Amino acid sequence: MEQAFWVQSPGTGQLREEVLPEPGPDDVLVRTLYSGVSRGTETLVFRGGVPASQHDVMRAPFQEGEFAGPVKYGYLNVGVVERGPAHLAGKTVFCLYPHQTAYVVPAAAVTPVPDAVPAGRAILAGTVETAVNAVWDARPRLGDRIAVIGAGMVGCSVAKLLSGFPATRVQLIDVDESKAEIADALGVGFSTPGEALGDCDLVVHASASEAGLARALELLAPAGEVLELSWYGDRRVSVPLGENFHSRRLVIRSSQVGTVARPDRSYAQRLGVALDLLADPAFEALVSAECMFEDLPSVLPQLVANELSALCLRVMYQPQ
């Protein structure tokens, strides 16, 4: 009998037994090796903070149940194909599946992990895919002065990708000075909001805070742009559009992973780009805590309460 993690009610999780269907000829049976907890989105789901108007938008591809619970939610899963088409049998694959010991999905729903990417790091594919989409939306130019506000999983990934553009100045900004260590591991400059360099052509905002959005506008050069990546859930946010917002011709634009930002790329191609990027060991810095699958019901409340500091929580299904 397999097991899955469910949010039973806001703030409470439990493991439930799951009966798997018999795989069809076009299905795969995947045995999970690792899954990842995306701190921002999944803690929002765990505390019951998804607004009713966004229930359909926020659904994960293989979600069961409904917000605010009981619901089986998650989308960072890496496992090994135990049964399936010959070209996938025995392969390590990534899937947008919740936290579950094994599962059956259509073969088209899994993506093989490149040989150069360790299975434990491949759980970051969903996060790096969001960052790839954000960079496509941002359209950085040679020599741009860039800031990324919010050193969470997505903000760190975006900063890492943007730092690869020639002659750009990229600074990762966060109120938590301990994030400087992660920025250093990613090869990106770090600053607190008060010390951040201004006159930016582009600011990517990913802190999900009013203060962060206000600081993003302050850091812009005339005609600069804020790319808003934050997900605020059920919170209302004030945007400072007075003072010199109009005279400086500033821009705020949204970005999110639900739509591929390039019309010449598919969802599968975007995910493939993200997985290829994860061959860089620097991304390992985003995994800052681990737990065993059976401990999820006790660990997630700690994550929500900030008793456990983690960008990405890696969940292990076999003893290491």
| Residue 78 sits in the same domain as residue 112 | yes
Which range marks the domain in which residue 80 is found? Answer: 2-116+279-316
In a domain, 270, yes or no: no
Query: Which residue is listed with tokens 């806001």?
Result: 10
| Residue 59 sits in the same domain as residue 91 | yes
Express each pLDDT in 44-65 by its tens digit: 899 998 888 889 988 999 999 9
Q: Dihedral through CA 96, CA 99, CA 102, CA 106, nearest 10?
A: -20
What is the structure's pLDDT at 242? 87
Last residue of a domain, one of 254, 270, 300: 254
Task: Give the total number of structural domains in the chain.
Answer: 2
Cα(89)–Cα(162) distance, rounded to whole angstroms? 36
User: Cβ(309)–Cβ(286) under 8 Å?
Assistant: no
User: Cβ(291)–Cβ(123) under 8 Å?
Assistant: no
In a domain, 235, yes or no: yes
**Is the peptide bond preceding residue 221 cis, with omega within 30 degrees of 0?**
no
| Residue 165 sits in the same domain as residue 210 | yes
| Residue 44 sits in the same domain as residue 83 | yes
| Residue 103 sits in the same domain as residue 14 | yes
| Residue 241 sits in the same domain as residue 294 | no
CATH number at residue 40: 3.90.180.10
CATH number at residue 156: 3.40.50.720
Distances (CA, A) of 236 to 155, 232, 258: 21, 8, 21
Ranges in the chain, pLDDT < 50: none
Encoded tokens for 83: 């049964």
Provide the angle, in degrees to the nearest 10, between the axes of the packed helices 153-162 and 125-138: 50
Helix (H, G, I), strand (E, B) or coil at 146: strand
Q: Which helix (H) or strand (E) holds 276?
A: helix 267-277
Q: Assign residue 234 a region (left: φ > 0; alpha: ψ between -120 and 50; beta: otherwise).
A: alpha
Query: Which residue is listed with tokens 């920025």?
Result: 183
Helix (H, G, I), strand (E, B) or coil at 221: strand
What is the structure's pLDDT at 85? 97
The β-bridge partners of 173 are 149, 191
What is the structure's pLDDT at 309? 67
Cα(106)–Cα(96) distance, rounded to whole angstroms? 12
Query: Which residue is listed with tokens 């999780």?
Result: 13
What is the structure's pLDDT at 320? 60
What is the structure's pLDDT at 269? 96
| Residue 168 sits in the same domain as residue 228 | yes
Cα(272)–Cα(278) distance, rounded to whole angstroms? 10
- Across the beta sheet with 71-72, the strand order is 12-18, 2-9, 71-72, 64-65
In a domain, 75, yes or no: yes
In a domain, 15, yes or no: yes
| Residue 134 sits in the same domain as residue 229 | yes
Express each pLDDT in 279-296 by its tens digit: 999 999 999 899 999 999
Cα(102)–Cα(317) distance, rounded to whole angstroms? 10
The β-bridge partners of 27 are 106
| Residue 56 sits in the same domain as residue 15 | yes
Query: Which residue is listed with tokens 């759980």?
Result: 123
Cα(269)–Cα(87) distance, rounded to whole angstroms? 19
In a domain, 263, yes or no: no
